[in-house]
Amino acid sequence: MTNSPTCHKCFASRRCGHYHLYVIELDFELTKNRTFMIANPHYRKGMDCLYVGSTSHTCECRFKQHREHAKKEKLGYDCVCDGKEKFHEFVRGGGHTRGSYYPGVYGLRLRPDLFVKYNPLIDQKNTMMMEAKLANMLRFQGFAVWQH
């Protein structure tokens, strides 16, 4: 077992049981997207587009969930956070979904260089606050950021 590159307490195939912030790099294509750019008036040309989120899964598993959710034919995803594969069904069209549109369709890779130092986080309320804080901090640095 090796330590995860995205959390100081997770292992590659087992989550630590705490919360995580994660940042996904998104395709530059999004700089042509009006809705996305309206949310980012301070974007500096040439900087990356990012998605900021939080999860109790490993960041790798959560990234995979985004990608799988974007594929219309997929009914769910395999979570491997607890040492063995477990199938989770997507609930589409309202209710609890595993997807925000942008990271699923435009997500390129996780960017642990921008978030590993925060992980893990202990309580959920603090995690939500930190998620918004990190998004603002990255926007301030000139990145284009989507966060929900």
Residues near Zn ion (CB under 5 A) are: 7, 9-10, 16, 57, 61, 79, 81, 120
Select 52 or 81, whichever has its Cβ closest to Zn ion: 81
Q: Tell me which amino acid residue 123 is.
A: D
CB of 128 to Zn ion, least distance (A): 17
Select 7 or 50, whichever has its Cβ closest to Zn ion: 7
The single-letter DSSP state of residue 53 is E
The helices-and-strands tally (H runs, E runs) of the chain is: 4, 6
Select 16 or 39, whichever has its Cβ closest to Zn ion: 16
CB of 30 to Zn ion, least distance (A): 26
Name residue 11's beta-bridge partners: 3, 14
CB of 136 to Zn ion, least distance (A): 23
How many other C-beta atoms can be found within 10 angstroms of the C-beta atom of residue 34? 7
Residue 97 is encoded by which pair of tokens? 């979904």
CB of 43 to Zn ion, least distance (A): 31
Select 27 or 82, whichever has its Cβ closest to Zn ion: 82
Select 104 or 120, whichever has its Cβ closest to Zn ion: 120
| Triad 6, 54, 22: Cα angle to 5° | 35
CB of 61 to Zn ion, least distance (A): 3
CA distances from 6 to 3, 81, 114 (A): 9, 13, 10
